[in-house]
Structure 1
């Protein structure tokens, strides 16, 4: 039994590192594993097909396309630029005001989109040109954009949180609320770093000039006001509704999508943009659904083979210290983060690591936030940090190099890992707010 499990897991990792699509790798490994356990291909196919069918029937899966659609409507409405402008105007007197505005804008944008890649692509085009035009050091400006985009997977609604909750069968609402306090702490760390850097290195982040009153556009201000109030309203409906117990995550996602559609129309979005947003949401959602279906098959194989117990026994043979076990999990996630995207890492490892964390006494919500933070740090880790590639592809500056972005993102990578450790050491950071939802 143990030999079969390790053979299948080794085969899965080999396929992943050879570049096989994660969904195909999960489905193939699951079939081979169940076949080796049962010795009958027909039974293995029947068992896995029924598992896939049951996974598709879960109504919780509708949360993902609705939240993605909400983010797409907001992205195409132009609200992101308005949020950045509002933050920039309000924080103009702070040292490093444009950098702090980028972090603040990303924090608000994260509460709507739930996707780090969308935040990175959007603010690369909006914030980076303004920072460079004012004389900000290039690597510093790029680091702000790439680092603050990570907030998209921690501040709810987050697609990673939904995937994690589906795999571990914990409350999506509780996990959303659990990410609020760590997300705000991380955003505060980012802002503090931007301000301190600007104070001690003025050439890196020059002071913002006073606003030109003659260039104030009343129509633009009205548009910004609509965006600001609309975003606050959507956050209140989605997060407030879940936290207050008035809405389930599915209902909150539905109201959020409708509200975002109305905001889009109010901001000038028309049928072509609407069609594009729906099409884009489908392109994002479909692969995620296939991944979740094959992940359900993978979880069935792990359960049938007793993989968690086998791997637990292997790790505990190395050390029975919870600190050492958590450190090994931490290292696995960091290493995988160098080569694989966040969703795939969760699908591959969480069915194994989550039961182990509970076994050694780690709170499930704290472990989830810890895991999402560490996995998200992988998006900034060389050589294949996905956010770094996104920023490189999105910035309107051909002179930008990957090295510029990686150098600028290092402080944010460190701060993400610090907050991850804080959540494990002080679980109340993740469990304080969602207590009424558990």
Structure 2
């Protein structure tokens, strides 16, 4: 078993490699190798056998097909124009609400999250779809951009979230139950975002274009006329949206009711997404581009998961996980304080590295500790996903903020303008973490019904 010095060595080595810019997969592999070397006292035959066995067992599992298949479904639907249809339809249905374009962006992002499971894709899509509309109606630029960036976070919480899948693989939890655990918190966060935008529109109507100068009246009327023209195409948008919603609900309920496994559900979703894309006019060349794009994105992610499983096994076998668990459980800290320390670490890391790397680095250590101090694994997973998601909006990393900026190069937007605008969204996410700490049933109620 590792002593304290060896624990510090292995964790310090991993963090040092990551912050030196070494790719996370390489850092995990090197750290696991060093741990094995110490544990096996330099017996390379045993080390290589352990490495090969772990990699083989990890890769042969059907569970690894879930990520590329769900990503394939999302790409087919996203590139077939689903995001635009969603926004137009929701915008049409929410015109009676104050700040309806911002509200429509949030709702459309929430529905789109059920399709893609990737926040970056949503941020890029709605930057080009929703922001021009809000600009046309005189919405404050900072508010418009923050609506897009903030609501894009929903993609990492609402199933089929890639982060939920990665968390499930690392902790050997049921993907289906984690998907169910993310639904109610995702809907609550959606409602909270909508409430903030409506409150802002009522309190400061000039931020949503309600106090325009007379010189802008013509532009507003022209925009309204274009919106009325769009209503003529609303039937097509309605059919497309209903098809997507039916597909997503069918997959989720199929997994929930046990008709098929998450892997089988992902396969059904990918096939149905292809059919919908073909019906909407996607060409063979575009299909090939989608498959190639998903391959380029998912292959490195699967390599990361293999290295993360190796890292987790080494931590367990060498006693690092048990040592840290014992250290924290026997410390004078209360369970709530220990949980607060873990959340604080996630928030700090969110300022520095991406979400998947944070999960790979911390969850193999934090998850056993959470179980030891009596926290429900499902509730802990959702708390962690939300806290890690918050890092998508925090400087200097804030990948969603940079995605929004990159999607609108012609606007020449100062990046810290978007960061300032997303502060309320960040606080709403932290507020939801507090709610789940106080009422874990928010995350555990739906899974308990299955």
TM range, smaller chain: over 0.9
Secondary structure of the 2:113 match is helix
Q: Distance in 1 between matches of 2:410 and 2:430?
A: 30
Counterparts of residues 199-218 of structure 1 (less than 5 Å): 199-207=202-210, 211-212=224-225, 215-216=228-229
How much does 1:296 deviate?
1.1
Q: Distance in 2 between matches of 1:218 and 1:123?
A: 19
How much does 1:320 deviate?
3.3
Q: Distance in 1 between matches of 2:327 and 2:286?
A: 53
In the other structure, the counterpart of 1:405 is: 418
Q: Is residue 95 of structure 1 aligned with residue 98 of structure 2?
A: yes
In the other structure, the counterpart of 1:153 is: 156
1:66 to 40, 65, 69: 69
Q: Deviations over 1:378-418 (max 9, x none)?
A: 11111111111111111253321111110111100110111
In the other structure, the counterpart of 1:295 is: 308
How much does 1:254 deviate?
1.1
In the other structure, the counterpart of 2:108 is: 105
Q: Deviations over 1:160-179 (max 9, x none)?
A: 00000011111100000110
In the other structure, the counterpart of 2:184 is: 181
Q: Distance in 2 between matches of 1:10 and 1:318?
A: 21
Is contact 1:156–1:180 with CA below 8 Å preserved after alignment?
yes
Secondary structure of the 1:246 match is coil
How much does 1:216 deviate?
2.7
Q: Distance in 2 between matches of 1:94 and 1:218?
A: 18
Unaligned runs of 5+ in 1: none
In the other structure, the counterpart of 1:114 is: 117
How much does 1:58 deviate?
0.9
In the other structure, the counterpart of 1:381 is: 394
2:333 to 274, 295, 320: 320
Q: Distance in 2 between matches of 1:45 and 1:214?
A: 63
How much does 1:214 deviate?
9.2
Secondary structure of the 1:179 match is helix
Which range moved further: 99-108 or 245-254?
A: 245-254
Q: Provide the aligned length of Structure 1 versus Structure 2.
A: 437
Is contact 2:89–2:234 with CA below 8 Å preserved after alignment?
no
Q: Distance in 1 between matches of 2:106 and 2:227?
A: 28
How much does 1:423 deviate?
1.1
Secondary structure of the 1:136 match is coil
In the other structure, the counterpart of 1:304 is: 317
In the other structure, the counterpart of 1:20 is: 22
Q: Distance in 2 between matches of 1:108 and 1:274?
A: 23
Q: Distance in 1 between matches of 2:35 and 2:148?
A: 42
Q: Is residue 337 of structure 1 aligned with residue 350 of structure 2?
A: yes
Counterparts of residues 160-175 of structure 1 (less than 5 Å): 160-175=163-178
Q: Distance in 1 between matches of 2:122 and 2:60?
A: 31
Unaligned runs of 5+ in 2: 211-219
In the other structure, the counterpart of 2:263 is: 250
How much does 1:211 deviate?
4.9
Q: Distance in 2 between matches of 1:317 and 1:299?
A: 22
Q: Which runs of 4+ in 1 moved over 4 A?
A: 207-211
Is contact 2:83–2:112 with CA below 8 Å preserved after alignment?
yes
How much does 1:213 deviate?
8.4
Q: Is residue 6 of structure 1 aligned with residue 8 of structure 2?
A: yes
Counterparts of residues 337-376 of structure 1 (less than 5 Å): 337-376=350-389
Cα RMSD for the two superposed structures: 1.6
Which range moved further: 212-221 or 60-69?
A: 212-221
Which range moved further: 232-241 or 313-322?
A: 313-322
Q: Distance in 2 between matches of 1:295 and 1:197?
A: 43
User: What TM-score do the two structures reach when normalised by structure 1?
Assistant: 0.97
1:126 to 115, 124, 129: 129
Is contact 1:31–1:45 with CA below 8 Å preserved after alignment?
no
Is contact 1:128–1:395 with CA below 8 Å preserved after alignment?
no
How much does 1:238 deviate?
1.4
Q: Distance in 2 between matches of 1:393 and 1:212?
A: 30
Which range moved further: 364-373 or 299-308?
A: 299-308
Secondary structure of the 1:69 match is helix
Is contact 2:90–2:104 with CA below 8 Å preserved after alignment?
yes
Secondary structure of the 1:157 match is coil
How much does 1:305 deviate?
1.0
In the other structure, the counterpart of 1:78 is: 81
